Structure 1
Amino acid sequence: MKNKLIFLAGLASVSTLAHAQSSVTLYGLIDVGMVYTNNTGGHSQVKMSSGNINGSRWGLRGAEDLGGGLQALFVIESGYNLANGQLGQGGDMFGRQAYVGLSSATVGTVLFGRQYDSITDYPGPFQAANQWLPYFGANPSDLNNINGTNRINNTVKFKSLNYNGLTFGGMYSLGGVAGQYTRNQIYAVGAAYKQGPVAFGVAYENIRDPNYSLYGNNASSSTTASNVTNRIFSGYASAHTQQIIAAGGSYTLGQATIGGTYSYTQFGNLGSEPGLPTTNAGRSAMFHNAELNFKYQLTPAFLLGAMYDYTKAFGINGATYQQGALGGVYFLSKRTDLYADVMYQHASGTDSTGARAVAALNGTTASSTPNQVLAIVGMRHRF
């Protein structure tokens, strides 16, 4: 009897220890605003918009200490539209992120599942629309994915430890098509460095069959038709490969930070996807994109920002998009803030459809003219 009591006491202590070394956290963010756009398809519009600076979400994250500096971890994260209660990311339950993996204190972290890519991870933090500016101010239709519009399915990702400010990593997404090993595959590598006031990040990404692997990776996506609806690059949906090289950096001096990003994006070997437009078959279309941004912490509670972005298409069509933004964030507390921004875009030249380019701020219905203005006031709360 005594031995049984000792065994049960020992078992209870092990159970308590295991529980103490494991954690699961519920978290989330609510972001909603009122948006005015001067021209969407020829008409002005006022609407409620959810997930502006940050996508509205709820999620669970957990970690378990396995001993010897090793941890098991997971994240499942669901996006939603606060205005109507609908799921985000094309209706996927956990469309924002869903992964599990192992983290080693001596090697790094390996993750498996639906995740952000290396473009978003490394140069992404230096774009204004990943800081203080709503996603409407990202580069046109987020053509380089720096704003993280599209997550990557079936991904194995490695993230290094921090070596005196240097971090690096890579990812590979399995296409999963029987007999066609490289179809729908995506691979990328990236690195970042931060030391004192200086920070920068770079990444390269190669995307096969982007219409399906990158732009068509939600449950509601088409497996036969185009999944690219914007005019910025919808004419290039039939590309066999999309390649992106991106870099970003910033320098902080006191309360001020100046930063920027640059990317080169190529849609290669057009006409490769059956059933999609074959105009300009075999050719490649390219984009240069550059952004310069500035933010100033006027007071501990008040942040001001400004941004200018330039996009130039070449190789086939020659559209140019120039846009600017001004905005500010007022922090009511560590978890709640108010924001206001105004954005303007001007388009010129010929777009990917072969028509006259019109303004189309990211995430909006295209204007009927070369110009578009958008203003927003909103509130953000974290829990």
Structure 2
Amino acid sequence: MKKSLLALAALGAFAGVAHAQSSVTLYGIIDEGFNFNTNAGGSHLYNLSSGELQGSRWGLRGTEDLGGGLKAIFVLENGFDVNNGKLGQGGLLFGRQAFVGLSSQAGTVTLGRQYDSVVDYVGPLEVGDQWGGYIAAHPGDLDNFNNAYRTNNTVKYTSSNYGGLTFGGTYSFGGQSGNFTGNQIWSLGAGYNNGPLQLAAAYLNSRTPAASGGLFNNGGTATAANAAVTNTIYSGFASANTYQVIGAGGAYTFGAATIGATYSNIRFGNLGSAFASPFKGQSATFNNGEVNFKYQLTPALLVGAAYDYTRGTQVEGNSRAQYHQGALGIDYFLSKRTDVYVTGVYQHATGDTVNAAGDVVAATANINNLTPSTSQNQFTARVGIRHKF
């Protein structure tokens, strides 16, 4: 009798496995275009670049139904450069995302290389994550709304959707023996999306972000701590012990038009911790505000405009650096999967800042992910094509 019961139990288990539903999806984006930059290190620059509106990528997304509403999920996502075929994100094979986890009605828990809560909740409301691409992101993407930095060794929780409300958080283990908080990164966020209204808020905290393995330096290529940040807007503050972002945003759609706004407060606390700084123990703070607008002229044609203002309350000995940035864009969809677009961004800088060597210098323009300007002004324009598969 016992043997019969054991046999039936074993057959039932195998039957459950045999009927489990699973799927794996291959997906990707190829984004390529021609750029013009009025001041790239003092000269005009004409070039092709990959992944401006969205990063060029391919990935695998999988799910398996484990029964009882429980699912196993995974994502492996690679970034690449269309122009030369090289890997993105510092040469990592799956540098964009790589995680595995479980999902149920109680929410989703995943482990691996992932996005923080600022990226997940507030990021989609800034123009850089919409029609503007990375050149229209906030100066230097200093608040990480445009996902310049991803988190390794991360445990992440994402709630189910409760009438348009979602929330979640991440914790990244620093992995330092005898120092539990070394290089740790954590974030919390929440969003509401119901009908025409979108709202979001999030918090990000990172210890020693420019140290080896820290948030600014986890792509695997930088050989020196201060090489992890190349953008002149905040390269002089990368020695901080703590990098903190408080962000919020909202958008409202009426008819074919959407108006939105975001705010972020960025603090580089206790300079001189990750590496030497003449401003040891001091802190630097930035405040950023953006307003954006887009209008769907036809089902195939989108136009957009945005203005962004960044103000730094920085270390003693220099005035407050300010950055004014405007962006315009047109996006035309040839099909559901292919579109062509034109984007233009202008940035003007005033005041003083601190360079990577710790010297107080005049602030210069540096549009996100571009070669810094040698003057207070910089303008870039791009004509591109994007295909999704």
- Please give the TM-score of this superposition, normalised by the length of structure 2: 0.93
Partner residue in 2 for 1:39: 39
1:315: Cα distance to partner? 3.1
Distance 1:211 1:52 in 2: 25
159 and 15 in structure 1: CA distance in 2 versus 1, 3 angstrom threshold: closer
Give the CA deviation at 1:15.
6.2
Kept in 2, the 8 Å contact 1:345–1:372? The answer is: yes
1:220-253 CA-partner distances (Å, limit 9, x unpaired): 2336554111211111111000111000110000
Distance 1:325 1:228 in 2: 24
1:27 paired to 2:27 = yes
3-state SS, counterpart of residue 90 of structure 2: helix
Tell me which residue corresponds to 2:165.
166
Q: Is the 8 A contact 1:156 1:171 kept in 2?
A: yes
Change (3 A) 1:254 1:80: same
Name 1:187's counterpart in structure 2. 186
Tell me what 1:210 maps to: 209
SS in 1 for 2:33: strand
Q: Could you tell me which amino acid in structure 2 is paired with residue 239 of structure 1?
A: A
Judging changes above 3 Å, is the alpha-carbon distance between structure 1 residues 189 and 11 closer, same or farther for their aligned structure 2 residues? closer
Q: 1:332 — aligned with what?
A: 334
Instruction: Tell me which residue corresponds to 2:254.
Output: 253
Runs of 4+ in 1 over 2 A off after TM superposition: 9-18, 221-226
Superposition map of 1:310-329 within 5 A: 310-316=309-315, 317=318, 318-329=320-331
Residue of structure 2 equivalent to 1:379: 385
Q: Which amino acid in 1 is paired with 2:334? A: L
Equivalent runs, 1:124-135 vs 2, <5 Å: 124-135=123-134
Shift of 1:146: 0.4
Aligned to 1:6: none
Deviations 1:298-342 (A, max 9, x none): 000000000000000113241100010111100011100000011
Q: CA deviation at 1:279?
A: 1.5
Deviations, residues 242-277 of structure 1 (Å, cap 9, x unaligned): 11100011000000000011000000000112xx33
Tell whether 2:345 aligns with 1:343.
Answer: yes
1:268 corresponds in structure 2 to 269
**2:4 — aligned with what?**
none
The alpha-carbon distance between structure 1 residues 71 and 223, as it changes in their structure 2 partners (threshold 3 A), is farther
CA displacement at 1:91 relative to structure 2: 0.4
Counterpart residue number, 2:92? 92
Could you tell which deviates more after superposition, 191-200 or 63-72?
A: 191-200
Could you list the per-position Cα deviations for residues 15-62 of structure 1 after superposition, in whole angstroms to 9, with x for gaps in the alignment?
6523xx000111100000100001101100000010011000000010
8 Å CA contact 1:216, 1:223 repeated in 2: no
RMSD: 1.9
Q: Counterpart of 1:351 in 2: which secondary structure?
A: strand
Q: 1:158 is aligned with what amino acid?
A: Y
Amino acid at match of 1:359: A
Mark the CA change 1:103 to 1:15 in structure 2 (over 3 Å): closer, same or farther: closer
Give, in whole Å, the separation in 2 of the partners of 1:170 and 1:133: 27
Q: Could you say what secondary structure the match of 1:210 adopts?
A: coil
Q: Which residue identity lines up with residue 94 of structure 2 in the other structure?
A: F
Structure 1 pair 224–141 and aligned structure 2 pair: CA distance change class (3 A):
closer
Q: What's the secondary structure of 2:140's corresponding residue? A: helix
Residue in 2 aligned with 1:285? 284
Q: How does 1:105-254 map to 2 (within 5 A)?
A: 105=105, 107-212=106-211, 213-222=214-223, 224-254=225-255
Percent identical pairs in the alignment equals 55
Structure-2 change in CA distance of 1:11 and 1:168 (3 Å): closer
- Alpha carbons 2:226, 2:239 under 8 Å: kept: no
Partner residue in 1 for 2:6:
none
What displacement does 1:10 show?
A: 9.3
Distance 2:343 2:294 in 1: 13
Is the Cα–Cα contact under 8 Å of residues 40 and 364 in structure 1 kept in the other structure?
yes
Structure 2 stretches of 5 or more lacking a match? 1-10
Compared CA separation, residues 300 and 222, structure 1 to 2 (3 A): same
- Write the letter of the residue equivalent to 1:260: A
Normalised by the size of structure 1, how large is the TM-score?
0.94
- What residue is the counterpart of 2:8 in the other structure? none
Range 253-262 or range 228-237, more displaced: 228-237
Aligned residue identity for 2:362 = R
CA–CA distance in structure 1, aligned partners of residues 160 and 68 of structure 2: 16
Structure 1 10/264 Cα, relative in aligned 2: closer, same or farther at 3 Å?
Answer: closer
Checking the alignment, whether the CA contact within 8 Å between 1:216 and 1:222 is kept in structure 2 is no
